[in-house]
């Protein structure tokens, strides 16, 4: 499959990227595994320095990152800036709070003593969509990298430059090689990633067809997997809510995804 940057307003191709070779494919997985063996032993403070710096760079260069999203997928520049800033806050949030979230929890069994600990598990392979090309990456990078895991990420074929910019962002922030790695790969190659025993978890946000394929491979290999295929969370309104305020934001929250998607798709419709 080709990874292409096409400006939706006029349909012109301004950048394309070939799938990586099998040799590169193997090397990237090996580098990620090597990085994990070191990263997992880093303290939360050491991890947070890198993730917080990445958050700061996003905030400082919001226009640069937003411009890429606008040119590559047609997102209006104001919304693109908002997404970049949101992604910055996500990274900063986990840099600040991950240690507290993952601290050992004392349990109270009826007999004996027990506590629960959280530990990293290894390489996580993520397949991500096009509609929020930075947010979808930040929301997995923040928690997973702070938890001590490393990431291999297959971005959507239509937003490769956003994905490349995000990988460069982390490298600039001091991330070691293999901590966060783009995988510009075909669907068949993605299946081989899931099959690799070094991959310990699979996360997918995308279509039902793609999700079924990935889930089947993850299930066959008995791996932790999560899928988000376009569903909606429940919106619960409590009795003491300010309804005027609540209704306004309920509509915004429900429609934002569809507006973003439809603006993008409409730009591709034949004229």
**Residue 166 resides in a domain:** yes
- With contact defined as beta carbons under 8 Å apart, do 61 and 88 qualify? no
Neighbours of 47 (CB within 10 A): 22
User: Using the 8-state DSSP alphabet, how is residue 206 labeled?
Assistant: S
Q: What is the structure's pLDDT at 15?
A: 84
The answer to whether 127 touches 206, Cβ cutoff 8 Å, is: yes
CA dist 202 and 221 (Å) reads 11
What pLDDT does 190 receive? 85
- As given in the structure block, the two tokens for residue 182 are 């783009």
Phi, psi angle pair for 132, to nearest 5°:
-130, 80
Q: Give residues with Cβ within 8 angstroms of 225, minimum separation 6.
A: 201, 202, 203, 204, 214, 215, 218, 219
The tokens for 91 are: 């990274």
Please report whether residue 109 resides in a domain: no
Range of the domain at 221: 3-103+118-231+240-266
Q: What is the pLDDT of residue 222?
A: 55
**Any domain includes 168:** yes
Q: For residue 271, is it within any domain? A: no
Q: What is the pLDDT of residue 184?
A: 92
Residue 113 lies in a domain: no
Q: What angle do CA 88, 92, 98 make, to 5 degrees?
A: 140
Using CB atoms within 10 A of its CB, is residue 131 exposed (0-12), middle (13-18) or buried (19+)?
Answer: buried
Distance in angstroms (rounded) separating the CA atoms of residues 18 and 3: 6
Question: Do 28 and 152 meet the contact criterion of CB atoms below 8 Å apart?
Answer: yes
Residue 137: inside a domain:
yes
| Helix/strand/coil percentages in the chain, nearest 5 | 55, 15, 30
Reading the block at residue 188, the tokens are 């068949």
Could you say which residues of the chain have pLDDT below 70?
1, 206-223, 227-233, 256-271
What one-character-per-residue DSSP string does 82-148 give? HHHHHHHHHHHHHHHHHHHHTS-EEE--SSS-EEE-----SEEEEE--SSSTTHHHHHHHHHHHHHT
Let me know if residue 110 belongs to a domain.
no
Contact present, 91 and 54 (Cβ < 8 Å): yes
Total domain count for the chain?
1
pTM, two decimals, is: 0.83
Count of C-beta atoms within a 10 Å radius of residue 6: 19
What b-and-e string marks burial along 19-44, b requiring 16 or more CB atoms within 10 Å of the CB? bbeeeebeebbebbbebbeebbebeb
Residue 26 maps to a domain:
yes
For residue 174, give the nearest of 31, 29, 55 by alpha carbon: 55
Here the CATH number for the domain that contains residue 92 is 3.40.605.10
Rounded distance between C-alpha atoms, residue 205 and residue 134, angstroms: 13
**Geometric angle at alpha carbon 129, from 201 and 207, rounded to 5°:** 80
């Amino acid at each position: 499959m080709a990874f292409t940057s096409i400006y939706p307003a006029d349909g012109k191709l301004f950048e394309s990227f070939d799938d990586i070779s099998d040799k590169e494919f193997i090397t990237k997985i090996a580098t990620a595994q090597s990085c994990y063996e070191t990263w997992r032993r880093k303290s939360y403070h050491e991890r947070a320095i890198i993730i917080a710096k990445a958050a700061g760079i996003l905030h400082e260069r919001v226009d640069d990152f937003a411009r890429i999203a606008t040119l590559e997928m047609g997102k209006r520049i104001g919304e693109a800036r908002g997404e970049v800033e949101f992604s910055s806050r996500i990274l900063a949030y986990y840099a600040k709070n991950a240690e507290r979230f993952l601290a050992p929890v004392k349990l109270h069994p009826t007999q004996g003593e027990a506590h629960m600990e959280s530990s990293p598990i290894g390489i996580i392979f993520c397949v991500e969509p096009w509609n929020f090309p930075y947010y979808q990456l930040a929301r997995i990078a923040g928690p997973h990298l702070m938890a001590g895991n490393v990431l291999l990420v297959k971005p959507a074929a239509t937003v490769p430059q956003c994905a490349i910019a995000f990988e460069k962002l982390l490298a600039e922030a001091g991330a070691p090689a293999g901590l966060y790695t783009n995988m510009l790969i075909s669907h068949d190659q993605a299946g081989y990633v899931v099959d690799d025993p070094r991959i310990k978890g699979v996360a997918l946000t995308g279509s039902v067809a793609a999700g079924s394929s990935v889930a089947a491979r993850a299930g066959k290999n008995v791996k932790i997997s999560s899928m988000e295929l376009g569903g909606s969370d429940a919106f619960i309104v409590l009795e003491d809510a300010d309804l005027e305020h609540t209704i306004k934001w309920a509509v915004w929250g429900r429609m934002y995804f569809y507006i973003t998607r439809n603006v993008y798709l409409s730009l591709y419709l034949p004229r």
